[in-house]
Structure 1
Amino acid sequence: MKAGINALWAKKKWNIPFIVTEHWTAYLENADQQLSHYSSFFKNGLKQVLKKASAITVVSNYLGKSIQSSFPGIKYSVIPNVVNTDLFYPVQEQDAGKIRFIHISSMNYQKNTEAIILALSLLKDDHPVELYLYGPVNPSLEALINDIGLQQIAFAQGEVSQEQLSKAIQQSDALILYSRFETFGCVLIEANACGVPVIVSDLQVFHEIIEEGVNGIFAEGENPAALAEKLRQFIAHKDHFNKNEIAAMAAKKYNYKKVGQQFIELYNKTAATSA
C-alpha cells in the first residue's frame, strides 16, 4: 500500500505511469485476514491506487476475479509466478523403499498443515510412508506429531536454502499442499519442475495449475480422511505420473524467459500508451 501511495504521488507530480502486481490473499472471501477487516481509509486508498494504475497484473485469474468482487470495473492481466529451472529440475529416481511426501509452507492457518499430519496418521498402518515438513518451526504442529505418535515418520526440517529445498523435492514422491485459500501456489510449480506430482486441496485457483491425473491429484478440503484416501490413491497409481512430462510442462509455462517476456510486453505497451 505504501508503494502504491508513492506511485500515485509520482504519477500526479511527474505523470509517470505505474503498474500494480498483486498477490495478496486479503481479496479472497475465505481468507482469515480479509479486506473487509481493514479501515475505510485503507480501502479507499487501495481503490485509488488500483484505479489510477496503468495496468494491474495478478498471479491467477481467481485472484483477479476476487479483486473485481471488491472493486468492480477493475481490469487485470494474468501473469503467473516463475520457477527457477536451474534449481528445480528432475533427477533420476532412487527407490527408498518408502513413499516420501513433502510439504513446504509457512505452517500457519492458511496452509492447514495439521490436516496433513492427521491424514498421515490414517495412512501409516497401511503403507510405509514418510512426511518431511519444510518451513518455520511450529511448536503446536510438533506437539501434534508427538501426541499421535508420528515421530518416526513425520520430520520437521525447519527453513532451509533454495538449493537444499530443491534437493528435498527431487528426493520426494509427491508434494502435499492442503491450503484453505491461495492466490497461486509457488511450491506447486517448483515440485512440478522437478517432475514431482502434487496432491492439493480442491481450490478453484489450483485448477489453473494442476490437471487431475496429469501433474497432480485433488482432495476435498478440510477433510483429513478424504486427503488420506487420495494419498492411498496416489501410492497405488504413482507410476502413472510421467516425471519428464510433468517437468517439461512446468518449465515451458513458468520459466523466467517466458514470464519475463510477458512483463516486457506489458511495460512496452504501458510506455507507448502513456507517451
Structure 2
Amino acid sequence: MKKILLLSDINSAHSKKWFKLLSQYGFSLAVYSLSLPEDGWYKKENIKLLSDGGFSNAKFHAKQSSKIAYLKRRKEVKKAIADYKPDIVHAHYASSYGLLGALSGFHPFYLSVWGSDVLLFPSNPINKSIIKFNFKKADKIIVSSKILKEESQRYTKKEISIIPFGVDTSIFKPSYKEKSDIIIIGTVKSLEKVYGIDLLIKAFSILVKKMPQTKIEMHIIGEGSEKASLEKMTKELGVDKQTRFLGTFSQQDLVKKMHDFDIGVFLSRSESFGVAILEVSACGIPVVVSAVGGLKEVVEDDKTGFWVETENPEAAAEKMKLLMKDKKLREQMGKKAREKVIKEYNLKDTEKEIVNLYESMEKKTCE
C-alpha cells in the first residue's frame, strides 16, 4: 500500500474530493495543512493530520506577507516527512504548498496546479521565481485544464499532465419533477470579487427591467467575504425581493438546489476550470458563462450554453432573456450539456487517471 503525504488545505472542497478518492482506492494517506480543520471529515477517511496548528480560515490566495509564515513551516514539513515516511509527497497548489514541498527536498515530489497559483500569483519577478523553482523540483506536474497547462508552460519545459475534475453523473443528473412557473437563474460560487457575483446581480437587474411581467428569481449558492456588499447591491438595484442567498450545502442537498435552476449563470473574471458549471450541466441545465480561462473548455458556445464578454452584464442579460423565452432551446442545450459531461468529464475516467498517477510512480528524482 503506497503512502502518500498531501500538502494541501484540509478544508478545500477540491482537495477533499481528491483525498476521499485516494482513500477509497486503498492508499495510505496523511495531510499537512496550513489551515485548521473546520471539522473532522478526515478522520472518517482514516487520513492522518500531521500538522497540529495553522491559520484560521486560511485561503490559497493569501497575501504575500503570509508566504513568510509558510516558510517558517518548512521544518515542520520535513519532520512530518521523516515521521510518516511517505512514498510520494504531493503538494496541491503551486505557490505556498508547492514551495514547502520543493524546499523539503523529498522525491518523488508531485505538484498540482489549481488556478490562481499560476494565473494570479506570478504577478512580480519574485513570485515568478518561486513558481519556476517549485516546478524545477517537481517530478510530476498536474493541472486540471488546457488553460492551466498553457500558463504553467510559461515557467517550465517539463511534461505537464492534464487530469480534469470529474463529475459523478449518477448523482448530478436531471430531475424530471414538475417545475414552478417561476424562472430561476442560479449560480454556485464563492462570494468573492473574482467570481463576478456583482456582475450577475447587475445582469439580473437588467433582465428584470426587460421582462417586468415575468416571474423571475435569482438563487445564489455560496459564502464569502463579499456577501454583505452583494446583499446591499441587490437592495440598491431593487432586486432584493427576487434574490435568495442560500449559503452552502452538502453534495446531496446541492443537487436538489441545482434542480431548481432553469438557467445557470457564471460570470467569473478569472476561472481555471469550472467544476460547478459541469455539475449544473450534468443536471441538464444550460449555462451562460463569461468567456474566460477554463470556462471556454467546459462550455461549447451556442451548443451547451452561451459565452459572453466578461465585465458585460448587458450581454449576459440578453443571453439569459433568450433562454428564458425559449423553453425548447433550454431543453436542447441542457441535453447537449449533459452529453458533453458524460463524454469528457465522467468521474470514473478521472478516477482511473488519478490512481494511475500514483501507481506509475517512477523511482527517480528531479533536480
Give the TM-score, by structure 1 length. 0.86
Does residue 4 (structure 1) correspond to residue 91 (structure 2)? The answer is: no
Deviations 1:130-159 (A, max 9, x none): 100111161111111111211221111122
Q: Work out whether 1:44 is the aligned partner of 2:129.
A: yes
Residue 130 (structure 1) aligned to one of 197, 217, 221: 217
Distance 1:224 1:73 in 2: 39
The question of whether the paired residues in 2 share the 8 Å contact of 1:105 and 1:134 is answered with: yes
Which of 158, 163, 180 is matched with 1:96 structurally?
180
- Matched with 2:160 is 76
Q: Secondary structure at the match of 1:103?
A: strand
After TM superposition, give the deviation of residue 226 of structure 1 in Å.
Answer: 1.1
For structure 2, the 5+ residue unaligned runs are: 1-94
Say which structure, 1 or 2, has more relative contact order (CA 8 Å, 6+ apart): 1
Q: Following superposition of structure 1 onto structure 2, how do residues 1-275 of structure 1 map, counting pairs within 5 Å?
A: 1=95, 3-5=97-99, 7-8=101-102, 12=106, 16-28=107-119, 31=120, 34-37=121-124, 40=126, 43-69=128-154, 71-125=155-209, 126=211, 127-136=214-223, 138-240=227-329, 241-242=331-332, 243-271=334-362
Q: CA deviation at 1:169?
A: 0.6
Q: How far, CA to CA, are the matches of 1:3 and 1:268 in structure 2?
A: 23
- Shift of residue 53, structure 1, vs aligned partner: 1.6
* CA displacement 1:185-210 (0-9 Å, x = unmatched): 11111101111111101114222111
Tell me by how many angstroms 1:11 deviates. Answer: 5.2
What is the percent sequence identity of the aligned residues? Answer: 27
User: Runs of 5+ in structure 1 lacking a partner?
Assistant: none
Letter in 2 for 1:135: G
Counterpart CA distance in 2 for 1:72 and 1:17 is: 18
Give the Å deviation of 1:273.
Answer: 6.9
CA distance in 1, matches of 2:351, 2:341: 15
Contact 2:135 2:156 in 1 (8 A): no
CA-based RMSD? 2.3
Task: After TM superposition, give the deviation of residue 7 of structure 1 in Å.
Answer: 3.8
TM-score by structure 2 length? Answer: 0.66
Structure 1 residue identity aligned to 2:217: E
Which whole-Å CA distance do the structure 1 matches of 2:148 and 2:327 have between them?
31
Letter matched to residue 223 of structure 2: P
Report if aligned partners of 1:55, 1:270 keep a CA contact under 8 Å in 2.
no
Post-superposition CA distance 1:79-138 (Å, at most 9, x none): 111223343111105231121111111111101111111111111141321100111161
Whether the 8 Å contact between 2:195 and 2:269 is mirrored in structure 1 is yes
For the 8 Å contact 2:263–2:320, the answer to whether it is kept is: no
Following superposition, the deviation at residue 64 of structure 1 comes to 1.3
CA-CA distance at 1:214 after TM superposition: 2.4
Q: 2:217–2:243: 8 Å Cα contact kept in structure 1? A: yes
Structure 2 residue matching 1:271: 3-state secondary structure? coil
